[in-house]
Amino acid sequence: MSVPLDLPLRRALAERVRFYRELGIYDFYSREPQTFKPAEAVDTAEDQDRPELREEMPARKSAAASRVEDENVFQVLRPEPEPSIMDPVAALNRIREDLGDCTRCKLHKQGRKQIVFGVGNPKADLMFVGEGPGADEDAQGEPFVGRAGQLLNNMIKAMGLRREQVYIANVVKCRPPGNRTPERDECETCSPFLMRQIAVIKPKVIVALGAVAAKNLLAINAPMAELRGRFYDFMPSGVRSGEWQGAKLAVTYHPAFLLRDPRQKGEAWKDLQMVMKYLGLKPPGSG
C-alpha cells in the first residue's frame, strides 16, 4: 500500500529526479520494503552520521515519482534521454541546454567568465579530453585555444588530421581559479555531462590528456608511467549508449606539461602513434 506524499516532499522528489536526469540518469527502480527490519530502526543516530545513507534515500523514493499525478510537479522533466535523438548536433545541444548557466559546484563563484562546453566534429572518431579550461579558454569559451591549445593543434596535425575533424572537451567546464587542479567534488559534479558528450559522439578512440583526465575517466589512481602505453576499453558510465560498444582510451601527457618539459614530447608522440595505428592514420608526407 503506497503512502500519500505531501506537496513539499513531492517537490523535493521532483528536484531530485531533475538532478539525476541532468546527469544523464533516466531509469529509477523501486525496492520492496524490508519486512525483517523494524521501522523504528531505520533512522537511528548512527545512520544519520552516514552520508551514503542520506544520499540513497531520495534516490529510492524518486522511483515513486511517476505515480504522483496531482499538481503536475513532474511535467517539467524530459521523458527521454538524448540518445533517442538521431542528430548528434541536436543531442549535444540538449546536453548544453541541461548544463545551463551551471551553478552545481563552487567553481561558478570563483571567477569563471563562462562555461567551456566542447568543440569539434560531433561524429569524430577521435576525441581529446583535458583537465579544465585556462584563462584563454575561459575568455573565448572554447577548449585548448591558448599556448597549450596551439601545441595540441600541432599534435593533431602531425597525426594527419585537422582540429575540425576531432572533438575536444575537458573534465570540468569552468576554469578553476589560478588554473589549479580541479578538486574531486568538482570533477564528480561535472564529469557526467562529459560522459553524455562521449556517448553522443561515440568516438573510436579517446585520448586523455594528463593525469587528471586519465584518473577521472578510468577511475584509476596511478602514475602516468603506468597509465601510458596501452589501450583501455572505455564505456561512459551512467548513460545509454545504444548499439555503440564503447571506445579505446589512451593516455598521454597534457600539452601544458609538454610546454614545461619539452623532453617528453617524444614520449607523447609514441602515444599518438599508437592511436594512429589503431585508426589507420598516417602522418602527412608519409605516402
Q: Which domain holds residue 68?
A: 7-79
**Average pLDDT for the chain:** 81
Q: Tell me the pLDDT tens digit for each residue of 193-239.
A: 999 999 999 999 999 999 999 999 999 999 999 999 999 999 998 76
Whether residues 198 and 270 share a domain: the answer is yes
**Considering only CA atoms, which of 97, 94, 115 is closest in space to residue 105?**
115
pLDDT of residue 240: 63
| Domain total of the chain | 2
Whether residues 15 and 157 share a domain: the answer is no
At how many degrees (to 10) do helices 184-201 and 211-218 cross?
70
Q: Taking a C-beta distance cutoff of 8 angstroms, is the pair 131, 183 a contact?
A: no
Whether residues 229 and 248 share a domain: the answer is yes
Whether residues 27 and 133 share a domain: the answer is no
CA 196 – CA 240 distance, rounded (Å): 9
Q: Tell me the pLDDT tens digit for each residue of 167-192.
A: 999 999 999 999 999 999 999 999 99
Whether residues 111 and 253 share a domain: the answer is yes
pLDDT of residue 73: 40
Q: Tell me the pLDDT tens digit for each residue of 139-173.
A: 999 999 999 999 999 999 999 999 999 999 999 99
Contacts 24+ apart (CB under 8 A), 276-281: 276/159, 276/160, 278/204, 278/205, 278/231, 278/248, 279/125, 279/126, 279/204, 279/205, 281/159, 281/160, 281/161
CA 47 – CA 130 distance, rounded (Å): 38
Whether residues 56 and 160 share a domain: the answer is no
At how many degrees (to 10) do helices 265-279 and 147-158 cross?
50
Antiparallel, parallel or unpaired: β 232-234 and 205-209: unpaired
Does residue 270 lie in a domain region?
yes
Q: Taking a C-beta distance cutoff of 8 angstroms, is the pair 164, 122 a contact?
A: no
Query: Does the predicted model carry a pTM greater than 0.75?
Result: no
